[in-house]
Amino acid sequence: MEQIFETAEIHHLDNTGFVPDGDCPGAVSDVLGMDLATEAQREIASWKGYAPTPLHVLSSTARSAGVRSLYYKDEGARFAPGSFKALGGAYAVQQLLRQEIGRLSGEKLSLADIRAGRFPELAQGITVATATDGNHGRSVAWGAGRFGCRCVIYVHREVSEGRCRAMADYGAEVIRVDGNYDDSVRRAQSDAT
């Protein structure tokens, strides 16, 4: 595996927003706080088929790059879509279904309820939609199939047929929009509304 990395480029960027030994700003922690990240990690780890991804040590590449150590996290076998991006969109679908099925059923539902497939008839009547260049839409489509709802993905004219097929293979209806990514976002919003 290390042979593919013949040259190395070293970059260092300072994170000027880093707050040492402090909490992140409220506006950020409301959507990306540690409590929410821990909840998401705990839930995703409970999904059938979950396994930690392997971390490969790239010793000779690290030496040639002049760094102490270098690791490669191999996401290729993570769930069906095989990418870390497969997690966020699918988790968002699960959260949205929890909220909407809870509203429709009048019950306070947990993520475990959605994972277990409670209220399949309600889930089947819900459609999630998003615009994408490919990876995010694939995650949403996979999550919709996993949790039993309908999915519509909007793509712009430059998205490859392969990416469209990958989303359709998970059961999504893929709608190509003439224009760019922003046009597909506007069309997704308009149709969803």
pLDDT in tens, 31-65: 667 888 889 989 999 998 888 888 899 999 999 99
Provide the token pair at 166. 């990958």
Confirm if 96 and 143 have CB atoms less than 8 A apart.
no
Model confidence at 100, pLDDT cuts 50, 70, 90, reads very high
Q: Which tens digit of pLDDT belongs to each residue from 60-93?
A: 999 999 999 999 888 877 787 766 566 889 999 9
Provide the token pair at 111. 């993520």
Residue 133 annotated as catalytic: yes
Residue 178 annotated as catalytic: no
**Global pTM value:** 0.79
Model confidence at 170, pLDDT cuts 50, 70, 90, reads very high
Residue 161: alpha-carbon gap to chain centroid: 20
Query: Which position among 30, 74, 85, 178 bears the catalytic label?
Result: 85
Query: Which position among 23, 133, 169, 191 bears the catalytic label?
Result: 133
What is the distance between the alpha carbons of residues 162 and 99, in angstroms, rounded to a whole number? 32
